[in-house]
Amino acid sequence: MSTVLYTIYMDAQNRFAASDDMTTVARSSSEGRGSLVRPKAAEIRDALEQEIVTGAWRAGDRLDESALAARFGVSRTPIREAINQLASAALIEQIPNRGAFVRQVGLAQLVEMFEVMAELEGMAGRLAARRADANALQSLNQAHAACAAAARSRDPDAYYYENERFHHLIYEACGNAFLIAEAKRLHQRLKAYRRLQLRVAQRTPQSLAEHERIVAAIGAGDGEAAERELRAHVTVQGERFADLVASLDRPGR
pLDDT in tens, 83-100: 999 998 888 999 998 999
Q: Which residues of 223-240 are buried (b: 16+ CB within 10 A; e: fewer)?
A: bebbbbbbbebbbbbbeb
Which of 33, 67, 102 is where one domain is finished?
Answer: 102
Looking at the structure, tell me whether residues 165 and 141 fall in a common domain: yes
- The answer to whether residues 166 and 147 touch, using CB atoms and an 8 Å cutoff, is yes
- Write down which residue in 102, 126, 154 finishes a domain: 102
Q: Rounded mean pLDDT of 206-222?
A: 97
Nearest to 143 by CA among 38, 253, 27: 27
Same domain, 62 and 175: no
Q: Tell me, yes or no, whether 231 and 150 share the same domain.
A: yes
CB 141 within 8 A of CB 215: yes
Q: Are residues 137 and 75 in the same domain?
A: no
Are 91 and 122 found together in one domain? no
Q: Report how far apart the first and last C-alpha atoms of the chain are (Å, whole number).
A: 11
Nearest CA to 193 out of 92, 49, 81 is that of 49
Q: Does 84 share its domain with 119?
A: no
- Residue 169's pLDDT is what? 98
Q: pLDDT class for 137, splitting at 50, 70, 90?
A: very high
149 and 73 in a common domain:
no
pLDDT in tens, 175-189: 999 999 999 999 988
From 46, 63, 62, 57, select the one nearest 12 (Cα to Cα).
Answer: 46
At residue 4, does pLDDT exceed 60? no
Q: How far is CA 70 from CA 66, 127, 234, in A?
A: 6, 48, 38
Say which range, 51-55, 100-104, 162-166, 191-195, has the weakest mean pLDDT.
Answer: 51-55
Is 253 part of any domain?
no
pLDDT-above-90 percentage for the chain: 56
- Tell me which of 102, 124, 142 is where a domain ends: 102
The one-character DSSP state at 39 is E
Main-chain phi, psi angles of 39, to 5 degrees: -60, 150
Pair 66, 117 in one domain = no
* Domain membership of residue 235 as a residue range: 107-247
Rounded Cα–Cα distance for residues 253 and 248 (Å): 10
Please tell me whether residues 153 and 79 are part of one structural domain: no
Q: Are residues 20 and 98 in the same domain?
A: yes
The reply to whether 118 and 243 lie within a common domain is: yes
Query: Is 44 a domain residue?
Result: yes
The number of distinct structural domains making up the chain is 2
More confident of the two residues 31 and 216? 216
What whole-number distance in Å separates Cα of residue 129 and Cα of residue 114? 22
On the question of pLDDT at 240 being above 80, the answer is: no
- pTM beyond 0.85, yes or no: no
Does residue 77 register a pLDDT over 90? yes
From CA 195, how far away is CA 187, in angstroms rounded? 11
Residue 252 falls within a domain, yes or no? Answer: no
- Provide DSSP, 125-179: HHHHHHH--HHHHHHHHHHHHHHHHHHHHT-HHHHHHHHHHHHHHHHHHT--HHH
Look at residue 101 in the predicted model and tell me its pLDDT: 96
**Domain CATH for 57:** 1.10.10.10
- Mean pLDDT, the chain, rounded, equals 82
